[in-house]
Structure 1
């Protein structure tokens, strides 16, 4: 069937075009097919990045297009790196990053380890656990905002029960100390299934013969877990941490839906601060420098982490 289809295409090709195609090398034909994708990549990713870097050295404001644009050099970068408010948002971002990854890896691996054990209803429970990951962040944010409301919020009743506060006047997302943890809970609930699936793939990639050999050597289950399971699943765990770390560093939608960065600046992460600088204060040049710093930070940390991941894979 494939040969007949190719013959029909060859016969339908105009003779002039057919001669030109026969004269092209395989390398040239490959570039012809790849060129549109490269052009699209340059237009969508590379050009905006170069343009952002250029704007970061100016005082450009997008709401003052007719104003003179001055070259300010490294002044924007200096102001950002010496601004205590910026470092406070960095600390808030680090708080979300560390704790969400910790809980997602811990719970995700535990669920994957339990589901990997064959039992009745295994497939059904896997589907139920994965459901939160399929929802839109906007839907999840609105749903959990409802759960965090005074009087009707389940978590508010739990916290108020242990703290002795009236639940009718208490809200987790309205508390400076608890609002960050409220977002950690939501993000963990939503993205733990993602980590679970990666860990599950790692567990099921371990050959059963290795465990059989360990049992022949009279290795205990605990010994098998630490000497076989953990080392062989570690690259998958590290990959999950990499994916979730990059995404959580850019956390925006859940924070906006739940708290909007408040109360005060308790949950104002770097992405929200960047949005305010760019689209509320209209300091485009300053915001561009901020974006470049965040990009370099993520890219640098990810590169170091990938090198460590490759070393683990080589063992």
Structure 2
């Protein structure tokens, strides 16, 4: 009696896996890896995209030196840092507050959960255009609402150098605080109930339970929310471009707006490539710090 197993025909599991994975790898190389290395190469040259026939010279670190010594670049970085700090702070505070409210089950819980998430479902360019008309001094609703509460109606939110940065912070917070709320709500739902039961046995106050149980357990989710929003806000472009386009003057000219002007208005491709690499390294470094901090929080 022949008990040998029949010979296997067809493709092996390893071959099938490569067939499915290979298109993804090719697309990743085509749309991510190659442009990154091409940008690094251009950052060491004097290439200009509007003059492709011009002889390309290797300039070494000259573009990086010019970027790091350009006061306009540092001014855009200052505006970006101001935008990052305030928008993320407000989004975490408001998102955490909304998450605490929605974590309590009530009759209209599903309706409010969906309604609060609506702003983050809109395209940033659409949001920027909508709020631009909302702040319009002649026919916008904002000045009308300010007038209803007795405030001045003669100023313009987007035309005032001291108010324009807060306008983009307000709009970004309105749009993305629900995203932070969603992350932190998931963190609140993951807290084991027995921790609160043990705290109640010890007769802990509500503040003690929040400080000793809720906040430590949700902290990894807060760090993730800060990391995700910091990365997105550091490269924020479409919302600010539609809302203020960096104005008035350059008061809201974030690093991404500055990069666009150098690359597609002044056509300094080599210089803008160096700026792009510096921004990439900055975001990567910021992400590494956040990940290290997240690891320490998890180990506690």
In 1, distance between residues paired with 2:271 and 2:229? 28
Moved more, 188-197 or 146-155: 146-155
Among residues 100, 104, 108, which one is paired with 1:113 in the alignment? 100
Partner of 2:168: 183
Deviations 1:35-92 (A, max 9, x none): 2221211111001000100000000001111111000000000000001110000000
Among residues 270, 286, 291, which one is paired with 2:276 in the alignment? 291
Partner of 2:47: 60
Q: Which runs of 5+ in 2 are unaligned?
A: 1-6
Partner of 1:282: 267
Deviations 1:110-146 (A, max 9, x none): 0000110111211111111111111111221121111
Matched residues, number: 294
In 1, distance between residues paired with 2:229 and 2:119? 15
| Matching of residue 125 in structure 1 with residue 112 in structure 2 | yes
| Matching of residue 234 in structure 1 with residue 234 in structure 2 | no
Q: Which runs of 5+ in 1 are unaligned?
A: 1-14
Among residues 239, 249, 273, which one is paired with 2:234 in the alignment? 249
The question of whether the paired residues in 2 share the 8 Å contact of 1:89 and 1:268 is answered with: yes
In 2, distance between residues paired with 1:50 and 1:34? 22
Partner of 2:126: 139
The question of whether the paired residues in 2 share the 8 Å contact of 1:160 and 1:170 is answered with: no
Partner of 1:8: none
In 2, distance between residues paired with 1:91 and 1:157? 32
Partner of 2:248: 263
| Matching of residue 39 in structure 1 with residue 29 in structure 2 | no
Deviation at 1:156, TM superposition (A): 3.3
Q: Secondary structure at the match of 2:158?
A: helix
Deviation at 1:266, TM superposition (A): 0.6
Task: Tell me which protein shows more helix as a share of its residues.
Answer: 1
Distance of aligned partners of 1:161 and 1:170 in 2 relative to their CA distance in 1, 3 Å threshold: farther
Q: Secondary structure at the match of 2:83?
A: helix
Aligned alpha-carbon RMSD (Å): 1.9
